[in-house]
Structure 1
Amino acid sequence: MNRALVMKFGGTSIADADAIARVTAIVAAAAARDIPLVVVVSAMSRITDDLLGACTAACDGNGHAAQLGVDAVETRHHRVVDELFGRAEFPESSSVRLRADVSEVCDELRAVLTSVAVLRELTPRGADRVAAAGELMSSRIAVAALQRSGLRSRWVDPRLALVTDDAHPSAAPLMDETRTAVARELQPVLEAGEVAVIGGFVGATRDGITTTLGRGGSDYSASILGAALHAGEIQIWTDVDGMLTADPRVVANAQLVSHLSFDEASELAYFGARVLHPSTIVPAVRDGIPVRILNTMRPEGRGSLITADGSGHDRALTALACKRNISVVDITSTRMLLAHGFLRRVFEVFEQHATSVDVVTTSEVSVSVTLDDDRRLEGIERDLTVFADVQVDRGMSILSAVGDNLRGDPGLAGRLIAALGGLPLRMVSQAASRRNVTVVLNDRDLPQAMSRLHDEFFVSVGSPRSAR
């Protein structure tokens, strides 16, 4: 049997009946190549947010609002079912059965949220049970749409195929157990010549307790399942053409990056490129499985191909990535000048508050770090002030220039900083990998900074990727 192709479709790609029809056509074209297919689907766009909103209402004791939230989710899925299967040429039993499947999931949600509203408490385990519902419903509808089109397809329960630890709500896969589960649940479907359809984002513990992989985790599911299957390729179908040289919302003339390395893609994802979830490609990297980013609205496009070593290009940079609305924390203590253990004490505080940092710069008496999650910042600041002076600046941005060739050309970093001349830079850092140069600056200066760098490295001298 040929190596499998894993195709993951995001929430906007299955947002309504028309979108699901496009997905069906894309999968049918792939099936014509006579290769084993696994289709991984997210929840319909905004459904996970709606479900978590119902959770919040229930926790506040507003059971009525929570039930209305579930009603709206159920109605949206029923409408899609009716639009897909409500025409005369399809048996009435198709839509009746699917509507019943959707209602069964929603009835379970209502029961859970009723209890939550009474207790005014939702455990992480309970939240995962609610959040998983979107993928369980969308995958049922997707497999029915494929079957309607004439493709032999079978639904696979993600809670049986993807085994995780119990770290709710961002569980980690247990790869040995997952490989065994995939061999049991997915492999027979492929060997029977059927398309396997499975919800992303969702897994279960060894004991069968529903878990989720964290927001954006459907991409992660595709990579995990691809690794477990030793797939030939993993495709991430989304609403953009692929990885771009910059955020098109900031740089209007951003261009497609047709080929990049796993390391470049990982760093771009980490520093804010939203096409990929940062964890997505880790299992693929370990197994050397290519990942391709494609646009559901333009299936004829070439997309972006991510491979272990990239394309061996000679471009100066591969792309720019950014994160807005971050906080910079300056920790200073002249009492700790050259004192052993100062950095350890600083980072122990962040660890105690389960908060990760993005960028770090140090001097003899101070440490500066950036946070894109400031929910625990008040407690962090309180604990740091026990042994240091702390200053917090909000409304900052991270701008990272990423490229494998930064490692071999020391002049590129200087050229990058020179291009930003006149703009106040709060922090400057080059990663240990020497694969990125990162600056931190005020949010209001980000558009100008990105435009300058894009013009310098991707547009200047008449070349889309000038290496000078």
Structure 2
Amino acid sequence: MIVMKFGGTSVADQAAIKRLMAIVRAARQTATQPEAADWRGPVVVVSALGGATDKLLTAATDAGAGNIPAAVDALKALRARHLDVAGIVGASADRPAVDAFIHDQFDELERLVGALGVLREVTPRWLDTIAAAGEILSSRLVAAALSAHGIAAAWVDSRTVIVTGDEHQAAPPLMTETQTALSAVVDPLLADRQVVVMGGFVGANTAGVTTTLGRGGSDYSAAIVGACLGASEIQIWTDVDGMLTADPRIIKGVQVVPHLSFGEASELAYFGAKVLHPATILPAVGKNIPVRILNSRRPNDAGGTLITRDRSLTNGPVTAMASKKNVTVVDITSTRMLMAHGFLARIFQAFEAHRTAVDVVTTSEVSVSITVDDPRRLPEIAASLREVAEVTCEDRMAIVCAVGDGLQCDPAFVSDLLQSLRGIPIRMVSQAAARRNVTLVIREADLEAALVRVHERFLGVSA
């Protein structure tokens, strides 16, 4: 059984859903061949219609600011868009129920934004409730479309099978409870030879309150489902050909990376590769399930990127590069406290207390430098640390990360890397313990030049 995840661009409109149906039909025919080892599935996990989540969150923000008319107008436009996409269901017996489902969802959303407009407050819980509507709607549409076109399909509300903790906007999945729920709900449908369709990104806590896994969480949902159901492969269908050697918006000569290890893919996703959610790899690693990235616009093209536990080291030290803009460097200096017991722990506790993730860390005799890509809580973090240290922040920085399992076999790599960047000021340098990445922090203004130089030097492709 395979899990197939389709992103927002792959369900954006009727044409995109037609491509999705053709892909699922082909997978279904393969799975039901007599020689197939597993006739079940596939399980299809979908994102919201492209751009819908952003519009839902904007409507929530407008409502919280008291601008109820703007919020309602946005919801009316989204309602019309979903009804238009529902045209793909045609005149099937399910069409009235699909239209009624869409109207019920948006009627409830309009009531909710009206209430938020009166309260002038949008809590994380209500943001999750509103954002989740995108995947709930899209998955219901896709299930109906498949059924209307002769593919036996069943819709499963993700809130009944993805069980999470109580946090909102980035709720951690409870894997044992989720596996129990999936086995009870999804396994019988698969045994009945149905394609199961569910929304990504969305879950619910043990009390049934709607939660989300964080932005980009549909990939994560697919991996969770694959791990819990023992999938043979997790497929991420998107609008690009696979993981690329660098950001194509910056480097013109990028190439598809045909094969990555789990470790390489995790590093690339964490440090900015947008094709894959950083948490996606974790459930797959635990069950050693291959992850394959494919292009829904070109499903018949051989290629894509296959991600497995190990791969042969046949190329140079660098497999691909990742980068992040809008990075802030936080310098924490204390000649009095640096060597004191528990000082570093206190620093990280301050970031943890304010739910701010840290990317890169370097230390010297008297200071610690840390990078973050979400500076919203830095004033509070700095205030708590100024009791024991001097804290300064420098924004408009960027991260460049060279990733490759082959780095551990090239002791001269860091020297060669720095030589290729001669003339570009380097703010921080870090190498992970696993020695599969070297990360540099530079000025954002130097990012493009740095990427071009490193890409040409180590990947042999001119920009």
TM normalised by structure 1 equals: 0.94
2:219 equivalent in structure 1 = 219
2:36 equivalent in structure 1 = none
2:435 equivalent in structure 1 = 434
Structure 1: gaps (5+ residues): none
1:108 equivalent in structure 2 = 108
* Aligned residue type for 1:46: G
1:16 equivalent in structure 2 = 13
* Structural mapping, 1:71-220, within 5 Å: 71-82=76-87, 84-86=88-90, 90-91=91-92, 93-220=93-220
* Aligned residue type for 1:321: A
Measured in 1, the distance between the counterparts of 2:176 and 2:192 equals 24
Measured in 2, the distance between the counterparts of 1:340 and 1:181 equals 45
Q: Partner of 2:269: helix, strand, or coil? A: helix
Contact 1:55–1:122, Cα closer than 8 Å, also in 2: yes
Q: Partner of 1:306: helix, strand, or coil? A: strand
What CA deviation, in whole Å up to 9, does each residue of 1:125-165 have, x standing for no partner? 22211111011110111111111221111111111111111
What CA deviation, in whole Å up to 9, does each residue of 1:204-260 have, x standing for no partner? 122221111110010000000000110000000011100111111111001110001
- Count of aligned pairs between the two proteins: 454
* Structural mapping, 1:405-424, within 5 Å: 405-424=406-425
Measured in 1, the distance between the counterparts of 2:68 and 2:279 equals 35
What CA deviation, in whole Å up to 9, does each residue of 1:367-390 have, x standing for no partner? 111110000112222222222222
* Aligned residue type for 1:241: D
Aligned-pair CA distance for 1:337: 5.3
In the alignment, does 2:300 pair up with 1:295?
no
What CA deviation, in whole Å up to 9, does each residue of 1:48-69 have, x standing for no partner? 1111111111111222222222
CA separation of 1:337 and 1:218: change in aligned 2, threshold 3 A: closer
What CA deviation, in whole Å up to 9, does each residue of 1:176-209 have, x standing for no partner? 1111111111111111111111111111122221
CA separation of 1:235 and 1:337: change in aligned 2, threshold 3 A: closer
In the alignment, does 2:6 pair up with 1:6?
no
Measured in 1, the distance between the counterparts of 2:118 and 2:338 equals 54
- Residues 361-370 or 328-337, more deviating: 328-337
1:31 equivalent in structure 2 = 28
Q: Partner of 2:245: helix, strand, or coil? A: coil
Measured in 1, the distance between the counterparts of 2:6 and 2:217 equals 12
Q: Partner of 1:132: helix, strand, or coil? A: helix
- Residues 361-370 or 373-382, more deviating: 373-382
What CA deviation, in whole Å up to 9, does each residue of 1:430-455 have, x standing for no partner? 11221100000011111111111111
2:446 equivalent in structure 1 = 445
What CA deviation, in whole Å up to 9, does each residue of 1:257-309 have, x standing for no partner? 00010010001001001111100111111000000000111112310000011
1:253 equivalent in structure 2 = 253
* Structural mapping, 1:45-84, within 5 Å: 45-82=50-87, 84=88
Measured in 2, the distance between the counterparts of 1:352 and 1:227 equals 31
Aligned-pair CA distance for 1:400: 0.3
Measured in 1, the distance between the counterparts of 2:338 and 2:452 equals 40
Measured in 2, the distance between the counterparts of 1:290 and 1:341 equals 41
Measured in 2, the distance between the counterparts of 1:203 and 1:352 equals 24
Structure 2: gaps (5+ residues): 33-38
Q: Partner of 2:268: helix, strand, or coil? A: helix
1:336 equivalent in structure 2 = 337
Root-mean-square deviation over aligned CA pairs: 1.6
Contact 2:295–2:304, Cα closer than 8 Å, also in 1: yes
1:400 equivalent in structure 2 = 401
* Structural mapping, 1:307-346, within 5 Å: 307-336=308-337, 338-346=339-347
TM normalised by structure 2 equals: 0.95
2:35 equivalent in structure 1 = none
Contact 1:406–1:413, Cα closer than 8 Å, also in 2: no
* Aligned residue type for 1:13: S
Measured in 1, the distance between the counterparts of 2:188 and 2:248 equals 43
* Aligned residue type for 1:135: E
Measured in 2, the distance between the counterparts of 1:401 and 1:9 equals 28
What CA deviation, in whole Å up to 9, does each residue of 1:78-113 have, x standing for no partner? 11113x245xxx34x543322111111111112222
Measured in 1, the distance between the counterparts of 2:421 and 2:198 equals 46
Measured in 2, the distance between the counterparts of 1:338 and 1:178 equals 44
* Aligned residue type for 1:234: I
* Structural mapping, 1:359-374, within 5 Å: 359-374=360-375
Aligned-pair CA distance for 1:312: 4.0
